[in-house]
């Protein structure tokens, strides 16, 4: 039977509706172990689950992302019904807030409980409906490992009351390491007698091995589409909502049981080797030992607190070595939590100085129309556009699959368009590195990541791209730009051997453009970066180059940017 019809038949009676306490569980909190639902007995709880076409029309998301979200949402509804929880499930054209308001009026519901949403976009959507009369009862979101108080204890109160464009948070700097150090002590993870296990906070320097096939990468379990997933795919194929990528090969877990089984596999089979090969890139083994759990954790199917507790237990049982356990735990209680706070305290990067110059010479208003496909009440404000390096070139066709001849770039783009996922180093040191070096618009790059990745949500994608990867926030998130020439990619991957371009040659035809782009980048941004202590070495090297060498590097770099912009093969 069709899923929505099943939901219609499972509707609670008016009497049941009245008797139960109602909780809104959004698309990204699909569990009964956190939030208000966790505090209710199954037979006194009712949950509201919504599919909003308005959300789908905001951006042309990757097909696999929409499927993983909606199929998990639908399976969650069935799992909760089986537990004895009453479910009001709706699919509608309106925003979440509008649908909630309609339901509240229809059933005369008292204030609906919910955890404070992770996505700013959802908070905005709900607050608009509240102005129209929607009554909500928010509680703190305990799906996170840290709280706002933790952040304030480490960094003090944010300066967020600034109006848009005021730039009050500009010039501040938040160090992830400080936050992570605090979180290790707070959680007691990998601590021994009050000291860091192994005698130090981080084992990052042990985690930089290139992959040469010495350890076989285990085959991941696959979860082919069931009836519900197939129905979602069918709906998305016919509802006229624009998406990108492909449904082909969808095999992500969509039930609570399969999500847990997938995590067990990652913990037992991948985690032991995660650390050493964390930064490696391989054409043969694109996923290497990365867990690829972000899509599941970001919709609440896996909980960060539970995941790190499992890693701690595996470390204690000697199933996962310390360097891998530490590296992984740092990503979650360090980077993941840090990023969501950065997004929160900057009001989604809106309290930073904004770039007056959006890509393609459009006005900011025109650009925001382009980004938000259908102007609507759910996304009424302009996107954040900080750009400390004043980068504004449009993202070139290579990011949409037009062959550039740069093997690393074409490999990363091919993988993401097909799968909706690449691991961290491809995101940072290939896709973002190239964009930063060339001066492509960080806003456009952010929106590209937002639509192409299955794990992208505003709090994590904006903070990673605008913050960590492109230095658009002027150093709020990262002490220096994450940029490099060809040497890094050559050292950490097997890509360059398969590329027509030469990583050891910096100028002239056939040279790898990364190196020339790197020196031209340093030259162009000397005013902003020249005084940065962490950039001292590269600037010293740059200053040793002759005028002739510099001119040749500039020429090579500019030719590559022009070729990319025209959609041509870089040669
Ligand atoms: C330009 C750029 C864009 C990114 N966009 C996203 C995004 O949209 N969604 C997203 O979840 N992550 C994003 N990240 C962070 C990181 O790349 C992914 O979380 C990670 O690659 C997911 O794969 P995994 O689950 O195998 O992670 P693993 O390498 O196995 O790491 C374990 C977990 O740590 C967390 N984590 C690690 N690094 C970060 C980080 N920098 N920020 C937040 N969480 C982190 C993730 O939840 C991840 O699942 C981005 C990073 C960069 C550089
Ligand atoms: S040679 Fe340059 S463009 Fe080619 S794969 Fe290596 S780093 Fe990428």
What is the predicted pLDDT for the residue at 169?
Answer: 64
* CA-based radius of gyration for the chain: 24
Ligand 1 binding pocket includes 451 (Cβ within 6 Å):
no
Whether 377 has a pLDDT exceeding 60, the answer reads no
Confidence of residue 372 (pLDDT cuts 50, 70, 90): low
What is the predicted pLDDT for the residue at 520?
Answer: 98
d(CA 419, CA 248): 9
Ligand 1 pocket: which of 399, 460, 481 to mutate (most atoms <8 Å of CB)?
460
Ligand number nearest to the C-alpha of 325: 1
- Enter the pTM of the model: 0.96
Whether 381 has a pLDDT exceeding 50, the answer reads yes
How large is the average pLDDT for residues 131-149? Answer: 97
Instruction: Give the chain's mean pLDDT.
Output: 93
What is the predicted pLDDT for the residue at 343?
Answer: 96
Tokens 């490099």 belong to: 484
What is the predicted pLDDT for the residue at 397?
Answer: 96
* C-alpha atoms less than 13 angstroms from C-alpha of 118 in its C-beta half-sphere: 27
Ligand number nearest to the C-alpha of 412: 2
Dihedral over alpha carbons 128, 133, 139, 145 (to 10 degrees): -20
What is the predicted pLDDT for the residue at 543?
Answer: 97
Residue ranges around ligand 2 (CB below 6 Å): 406-408, 486, 489-490, 495-496, 499, 501, 503, 512, 514
Task: Give the pair of three-digit tokens for residue 117.
Answer: 């949403």
- Answer whether 307's CB lies under 8 Å from 145's CB: no
Ligand 1 binding pocket includes 450 (Cβ within 6 Å):
no
Ligand 1 binding pocket includes 449 (Cβ within 6 Å):
yes
What is the predicted pLDDT for the residue at 256?
Answer: 98
Q: Which atom of ligand 1 is nearest to the CA of 297?
A: 47
Measure 335 CA to ligand 1 centroid, in angstroms: 8
Ligand 1 pocket: which of 272, 290, 455 to mutate (most atoms <8 Å of CB)?
455
What is the predicted pLDDT for the residue at 387?
Answer: 86
What residue owns the CA closest to ligand 2's atom 7?
486
Q: Which atom of ligand 2 is nearest to the CA of 406?
A: 3
Q: What does the pLDDT look like over 204-256, one tens digit per residue? A: 887 789 999 999 999 999 999 999 999 999 999 999 999 999 999 999 999 99
Whether 508 has a pLDDT exceeding 90, the answer reads yes
DSSP string, 289-314: T----HHHHTTTSS-HHHHHHHHHHH
What is the predicted pLDDT for the residue at 162?
Answer: 43
What is the predicted pLDDT for the residue at 173?
Answer: 84
Q: Percent of the chain beyond pLDDT 90?
A: 89
Q: What does the pLDDT look like over 43-96, one tens digit per residue? A: 999 999 999 999 999 899 999 999 999 999 999 999 999 999 999 999 999 999
Whether 161 has a pLDDT exceeding 90, the answer reads no
Ligand 1 binding pocket includes 331 (Cβ within 6 Å):
yes
d(CA 180, CA 335): 8
Measure 184 CA to ligand 1 centroid, in angstroms: 19
Q: SS3 of 493, please?
A: strand
What is the predicted pLDDT for the residue at 172?
Answer: 77
What is the predicted pLDDT for the residue at 360?
Answer: 63
Q: Which atom of ligand 2 is nearest to the CA of 501?
A: 1
- In our burial notation (b when 16+ CB lie closer than 10 A, e otherwise), range 13-52 reads eeeebeebbbbbbbbbbbbbebbbbeebeeeebbbbbbbb
Measure 424 CA to ligand 1 centroid, in angstroms: 6
Measure 412 CA to ligand 2 centroid, in angstroms: 12
Ligand 1 binding pocket includes 100 (Cβ within 6 Å):
no
Ligand number nearest to the C-alpha of 514: 2
Confidence of residue 187 (pLDDT cuts 50, 70, 90): very high
Measure 513 CA to ligand 2 centroid, in angstroms: 8
Ligand 2 pocket: which of 489, 505, 507, 513 to mutate (most atoms <8 Å of CB)?
489
Whether 358 has a pLDDT exceeding 70, the answer reads no
Q: Which residues contact 150 (CB under 8 A, 6 or more apart)?
A: 182, 183, 186
Ligand 1 binding pocket includes 298 (Cβ within 6 Å):
yes
Q: Which atom of ligand 2 is nearest to the CA of 499?
A: 4
Whether 561 has a pLDDT exceeding 90, the answer reads yes
Ligand 1 binding pocket includes 339 (Cβ within 6 Å):
yes
Ligand number nearest to the C-alpha of 298: 1
Ligand 2 pocket: which of 283, 432, 495 to mutate (most atoms <8 Å of CB)?
495
Confidence of residue 114 (pLDDT cuts 50, 70, 90): very high
Measure 87 CA to ligand 1 centroid, in angstroms: 32
Q: What does the pLDDT look like over 426-449, one tens digit per residue? A: 999 999 999 999 999 999 999 999
3-state secondary structure 86-139: EEEEEEECCCHHHHHHHHHHHHCCCCEEEECCCCHHHHHHHHHHHHCCCCEEEE
**Backbone torsions φ then ψ of 113, nearest 5 degrees:** -85, 150
How large is the average pLDDT for residues 488-507? Answer: 97
Whether 146 has a pLDDT exceeding 70, the answer reads yes
Q: What does the pLDDT look like over 299-341, one tens digit per residue? A: 999 999 999 999 999 999 999 999 999 999 999 999 999 999 9
What residue owns the CA closest to ligand 1's atom 43?
336
Q: Percent of the chain beyond pLDDT 70?
A: 93
Using CB atoms within 10 Å of the CB of residue 559, give its burial: 0 to 12 exposed, 13 to 18 middle, 19+ buried.
middle
What is the predicted pLDDT for the residue at 383?
Answer: 85
d(CA 286, CA 278): 12
What residue owns the CA closest to ligand 1's atom 50?
464
Confidence of residue 165 (pLDDT cuts 50, 70, 90): very low
Whether 493 has a pLDDT exceeding 60, the answer reads yes
Ligand 1 binding pocket includes 290 (Cβ within 6 Å):
yes
How large is the average pLDDT for residues 19-27? Answer: 98
Task: Give the pair of three-digit tokens for residue 528.
Answer: 């902003």
What is the predicted pLDDT for the residue at 555?
Answer: 98
Comparing 240-244, 367-371, 394-398, 438-442, which segment has the lowest mean pLDDT?
Answer: 367-371
Ligand number nearest to the C-alpha of 434: 2
Ligand number nearest to the C-alpha of 408: 2
Ligand 1 binding pocket includes 425 (Cβ within 6 Å):
no
Residue 24 is given by DSSP the state E
Ligand 1 binding pocket includes 468 (Cβ within 6 Å):
yes
d(CA 48, CA 25): 6
């Amino acid at each position: 039977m069709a899923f929505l019809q099943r939901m219609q038949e499972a509707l609670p009676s008016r009497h049941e509706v009245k008797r139960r306490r109602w909780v809104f569980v959004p698309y990204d909190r699909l569990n009964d172990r956190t939030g208000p639902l966790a505090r209710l007995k199954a037979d006194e709880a009712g949950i509201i689950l919504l599919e909003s076409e308005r959300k789908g029309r905001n951006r042309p998301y990757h097909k696999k992302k929409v499927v993983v979200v909606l199929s998990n949402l639908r399976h969650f509804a069935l799992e909760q019904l089986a537990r004895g929880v009453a479910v009001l499930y709706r699919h509608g054209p309106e925003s979440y807030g509008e649908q909630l308001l309609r339901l509240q009026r229809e059933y005369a519901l008292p204030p609906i409980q919910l955890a404070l949403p992770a996505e700013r976009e959802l908070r905005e959507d709900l607050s608009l409906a509240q102005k129209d009369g929607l009554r909500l009862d928010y509680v703190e979101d305990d799906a996170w490992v840290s709280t706002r108080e933790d952040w304030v204890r480490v960094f003090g109160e944010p300066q967020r009351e600034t109006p848009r464009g005021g730039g009050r948070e500009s010039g501040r700097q938040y160090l992830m390491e400080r936050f992570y150090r605090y979180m290790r002590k707070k959680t007691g993870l990998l601590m021994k007698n009050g000291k860091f296990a192994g005698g130090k906070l981080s084992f990052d320097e042990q985690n930089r091995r290139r992959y040469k096939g010495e350890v076989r990468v285990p085959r991941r379990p696959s979860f082919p589409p069931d009836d519900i997933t197939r129905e979602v795919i069918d709906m998305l194929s016919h509802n006229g909502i624009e998406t990108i990528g492909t449904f082909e090969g969808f095999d992500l877990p969509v039930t609570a049981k399969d999500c847990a089984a997938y995590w067990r596999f990652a913990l037992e089979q991948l985690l032991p080797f995660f650390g050493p090969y964390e930064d490696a890139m391989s054409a043969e083994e694109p996923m290497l030992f990365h867990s690829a759990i972000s899509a599941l954790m970001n919709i609440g199917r896996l909980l960060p607190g539970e995941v790190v507790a499992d890693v701690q237990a595996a470390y204690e049982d000697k199933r996962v070595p310390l360097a891998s356990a530490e590296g992984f735990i740092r990503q979650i209680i360090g980077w993941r939590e840090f990023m969501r706070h950065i997004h929160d305290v900057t009001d989604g990067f809106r309290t930073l100085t904004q770039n007056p110059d959006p890509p393609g010479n459009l006005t900011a208003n025109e650009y925001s129309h382009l980004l938000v496909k259908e102007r609507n009440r759910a996304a009424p404000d302009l996107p954040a556009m900080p750009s400390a390096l004043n980068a504004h070139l449009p993202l070139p066709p290579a990011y949409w699959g037009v062959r550039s001849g740069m093997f690393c770039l074409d490999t990363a783009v091919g993988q993401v368009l097909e799968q909706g996922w690449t691991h961290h180093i491809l995101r940072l040191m290939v896709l973002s590195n190239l964009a930063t070096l060339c001066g492509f618009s960080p806003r456009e790059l952010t929106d590209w990541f937002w639509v192409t990745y299955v794990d992208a949500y505003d709090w994590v994608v904006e903070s990673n791209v605008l913050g960590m990867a492109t230095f658009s926030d002027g150093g709020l998130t990262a002490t220096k730009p994450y940029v490099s020439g060809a040497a890094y990619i050559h050292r950490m991957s097997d890509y360059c051997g398969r590329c027509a371009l030469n990583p050891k040659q910096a100028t002239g035809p056939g040279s790898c453009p990364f190196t020339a782009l790197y020196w031209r980048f340093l030259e162009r941004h000397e005013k902003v970066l020249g005084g940065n202590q962490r950039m001292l070495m590269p600037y010293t090297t740059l200053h040793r180059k002759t005028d002739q060498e510099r001119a040749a590097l500039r020429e090579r770099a500019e030719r590559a940017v022009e070729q990319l912009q025209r959609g041509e093969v870089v040669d």
